[in-house]
Chains A and B, each alone.
Chain A
Amino acid sequence: MSGNKELELFKNGKRLDGRKFDELRDLKITAGVLKRADGSCLLEWGKNKVLAAVYGPRECLPRHEQNPLKARIKYRYNMAPFSVEDRKRPGPDRRSIEISKISQEAFEKVIFTNFFPKASIDIFVEILQADAGTRCAALTAASVAVADAGVPMKDLIVGIAAGKAGDEVILDLGKEEDNFGQADMPMGIVPTTGEVVLMQMDGDFSKQEFDKANELIKKAVPVIYEKQRQALREKYEKQQKAIEEDLE
């Protein structure tokens, strides 16, 4: 993170893309978009396009990874080669592996893995187009996919980042803010309890700025949560509507 003040990230109370400091980018969530997967979710957040799929619970392979007490959770975050400006070679890189690890740990807290000894719950997220904040978008989409698959959970997880750019504490960093800003803090929150199940931070935050960032996140969580829930409701309503139309 380099504070590049020559690029005016904040001017007249507005960010480069016209947003205010506490404004989220456009967010659109659709549940149940794939046929083969047990649960799935397509999520569009700003210019991010993310597709999450869940298979499970299913047999855990390789056998030696089976846990007789609970299900194993596997989380794989993967970027499509064409998702970024400079084509990315296919396959996991160190960044993807790290994101996968901490996201899997987040889900360990909310999924009732003890109901499925020896099994595996596999969560896969493909980043189809990337534009800053992909790990949070992935977490948010994955939660919807897990619910869609019928896997029991305490609650969904909301992924959202706050940071600092142009000396201002801001919510939901865009691409330039991510590249040239002064701090970035992605978080994963359990909405009904406020528990933090994922957190990373890099850059520079005073205690005051840190508190401001957490305030912004706290206000944003219910907004994103409602969109996740609405997506799941809409899936059911759409199916019911299709049945009614068939009968007419």
Chain B
Amino acid sequence: MSEKKVILPGDKVNTRGSYTYKVGEQNYSSIYGILTKNEGREKLIPLSGKYIPSEGDLIVGVIKEAKFGGAVVDINSPYSAFLPTRREYREGDVVFAKIFEVDEVKSTKLGDERQLYQGEIIEISPVRVPRVIGKKNSMLELLKQKTGCNLFIGRNGRIWIKGDNVILLKKAILKIEKEAHTTGLTNKITKFLDEELTKEIKIKNKELK
């Protein structure tokens, strides 16, 4: 059984990680977040916060400015990134890329990019992204399958979507963001999508008659 608790800066915790600090032998939380206890293991996740680039992350970026040797990319962070490339990108172009390098002053280099054409970008709180991806991509696959849309989820809270049923996909994503801390979310979203799709079929059938 998992236990959940609201944690505040300065609270004592038994876990160690990016959101804790140590004084002597005791660990403390540095953030406002949720502490879950599952089979003796404690995990601390923040309730809010900006995206800070981390090596290996896949992100959705928007080209800000073409520069010599590459482009400056907005990655929805206090830090912008640089994409070294010979391709000529223009302001507003959307790319899905990997963060190759982050140095001590958070200068960020991107690579492995692919351009995403047309479509739309939704922004959600970066701390909720893992929920939209799900364990082993389970939520991501569910969304793709049920809506038939194409989507790329960036760790930086930006999600690029394209397809016929984007309106339903948008609703589902915002629902996941809102209900990120409830249990059984995958089942709830499956149910939600099935209900909405059934509604759509009924409306279509009425129109055909």
A and B touch in the complex (CB under 8 A): yes
Which chain B residue has the least Cβ–Cβ distance from A32? B48
User: B182 contacts the other chain (Cβ, under 8 Å)?
Assistant: yes
**How many Å from the CB of B109 to the closest CB on chain A?**
16
Contacts of A237 in B (CB 8 A): 6
Q: Looking at the complex, which one of A59, A116, A150, A243 makes contact with B47 (CB distance below 8 Å)?
A: A150
CB–CB A58/B50 < 8 A:
yes
Q: Does A155 reach chain B (CB closer than 8 Å)? A: yes
B193 CB to closest chain A CB (Å) equals 15
Among A152, A153, A243, contact of B182 (Cβ-Cβ < 8 Å): A243
**Contact (Cβ within 8 A) B48 A154:** no
Of the candidates A58, A59, A191, A240, the one whose C-beta lies within 8 Å of that of B181 is: A240
| Contact status A154-B8, CB under 8 Å | no
Does the CB pair B50–A147 fall under 8 Å?
no
The answer to whether A243 and B48 have CB atoms under 8 Å apart is no
Contact check: which of A120, A154, A236, A243 meets B21 at CB < 8 Å?
Answer: A154
| Distance of A149 Cα from B50 Cα, bound (Å) | 8
Number of B interface residues, CB 8 Å? Answer: 29
Decide: A68 and B105 in contact? CB cutoff 8 A: yes
Chain A neighbourhood of B181, CB < 8 A: 240
Interfacial residues of chain B within 38-87, with CB under 8 A of chain A in the complex: 46-50, 52, 78-80
Inter-chain contacts of A115 with B (CB < 8 A): 52
Give min CB distance, B207 to chain A, whole Å.
29
- B35 smallest CB distance to A (angstroms): 12
A148-B32, A150-B50, A150-B127 are known contacts. Are A156 and B9 too (CB-CB below 8 A)?
Answer: yes
- Bound Cα distance from A56 to B34, whole angstroms: 21
User: A236 CA to B178 CA in the complex, in Å?
Assistant: 11
In the bound complex, CA of A54 to CA of B135 (Å): 33
Which 6 residue pairs of A and B lie closest in terms of their CB atoms, listed nearest first? A150-B49, A155-B10, A150-B48, A152-B30, A119-B78, A153-B9
B9:A147 contact, CB within 8 angstroms:
yes
Quote the shortest CB–CB distance from B49 to chain A (angstroms): 3
B interface, CB within 8 angstroms of A: 6, 8-10, 19, 21, 28, 30-32, 34, 46-50, 52, 78-80, 104-106, 127, 178-179, 181-182, 188
Residues of A148-192 whose CB lies within 8 A of B: 148-156, 191-192
Interface 0/1 of A12-51, CB less than 8 Å to B: 0000000000000000000000000011000000000000
Is the Cβ of B49 less than 8 Å from the Cβ of A149?
yes
CB-CB under 8 A for A191 and B47, given A117-B105, A119-B79, A150-B31: no
Consensus secondary structure, chain B interface: loop
Q: A38-B48, A149-B48, A240-B182 are in contact. Are A154 and B78 (CB under 8 A)?
A: no
The one of B32, B104, B105, B179 that contacts A243, using a Cβ cutoff of 8 Å: B179
Shortest CB–CB separation between residue B129 and chain A, in angstroms?
14
Between-chain CB contacts (< 8 Å), 22 pairs: A38-B48, A57-B78, A58-B78, A59-B79, A116-B52, A116-B78, A119-B106, A147-B31, A149-B49, A150-B46, A154-B10, A156-B8, A156-B9, A191-B10, A229-B8, A233-B6, A233-B8, A236-B6, A236-B34, A239-B178, A240-B181, A243-B179
A232 contacts the other chain (Cβ, under 8 Å)? yes
Interface presence of A82 (CB below 8 A): no
Point out which of B8, B21, B49 has the most chain A C-beta atoms below 10 A from its C-beta: B8
Can you add 10 more A-B contacts, CB < 8 Å, to A117-B105, A152-B9, A156-B10?
Answer: A57-B78, A59-B80, A115-B52, A116-B78, A147-B32, A150-B50, A153-B9, A153-B31, A229-B8, A233-B6
